[in-house]
Structure 1
Amino acid sequence: MARPKSEEKRLQLLHAAAEAVAQRGVGAPTAMISAMAGVAEGTLFRYFPTKEALLNELYLHLFGHMCAALAEALDPAQPLVQRARQQWNAYIDWGLAHPSWIRAINQLAVTDILTPQTRAAELSLFPDLGLVEATSMNSGLFQDLHPAFDDAIIIAIADATLDFATREPARAAEYKLSGFNAYARIFLPSS
């Protein structure tokens, strides 16, 4: 008789997978993930039928945590640009607090591993769909390119912001503002 699955062990596996993906990318072997979680590789496959299933669940798990932080910072009564800035600052602050999680999310976000179901679920988790719609409508410069290209541009700006804010914590607010200004010029409608 199979032992019941434990939520604690599932979370252990997800957090180990986040660390492994942050270190080695989506090519991180399941043996590494299992070892980091302190379980046998067979245990990983009791919880996740495939590595792709693990990575899709990992993405939604981490993305959900990030969106919870964004939701706390959201004031829907604010105009679009102010909401975008609130979301940007919350994203950067969350990334500074969870560096391996943000690296894992960013690695996964630009791969073809994420299923259409995961992409649909991702959108449903984001706390400000009006911001997503305004951003995608304004980013017409990317319309004929791979759908992940605009995500990759945002991630590159955010990564640079996170990198410099980490190097110079006393200037983190300046880097957040400059990073936001770069993001806004590309993705937000001009006022």
Structure 2
Amino acid sequence: MDRETFWDIVERARRAAGRETVTAEGADVVARHLVAELSVLSPAAIVGFEQAYDDVTEEGWRWDLWAAAYLMRGGCSDDGFDYFRGWLVAQGRAVWERAVADPDSLAGAGVDPDDDAVECEAVLSAAGDAYAQATGGGTDAFWEALDAADRAAPVQAPADPAGEDFDFDDDEQMRARLPRLSAIYRPVE
């Protein structure tokens, strides 16, 4: 599946959700609509969506975006960063692309700074859930189909995030790299 089709499906799910998505609950609603959008597609198209999702979220496999997630979530593990990127996909293409280009742009995303639940694990499982619905089988069949598709067109994902690694607990570095987010999440006292 190409990038345009991927984002068209995400945007349809966002429109169907019909509400603000900046909260974790709103992103979960988008994920449920994403499952509905995907479940009417062929199994191969659902697998293609997952491959496109992997390609898109790999763009966000960056230290600076992880630092933004760390600020916004009050800390961020490996899994937490995956869930954060799921939440970010649920925000739509425009927010995603701005955040990847400039993670500090998330300062204007309308997130309540007291809500550190900027995550959406449900987006990560949307394709598997849709595949199970579409085929009447379980998610194991989805993972097998995805594995077969990935073997047919292998892609080597980078082991480490792109960009320069730095200490997320160093306030000075965070303020220098993400000044707007730092002003919201780590104000100078």
Q: With structure 2 as the length reference, what TM-score do the two structures score?
A: 0.34
Q: Report which of the two structures shows the higher radius of gyration computed on alpha carbons.
A: 1
Report 1 or 2 for greater relative contact order, CA contacts < 8 Å, sequence distance ≥ 6.
2
Q: With structure 1 as the length reference, what TM-score do the two structures score?
A: 0.34
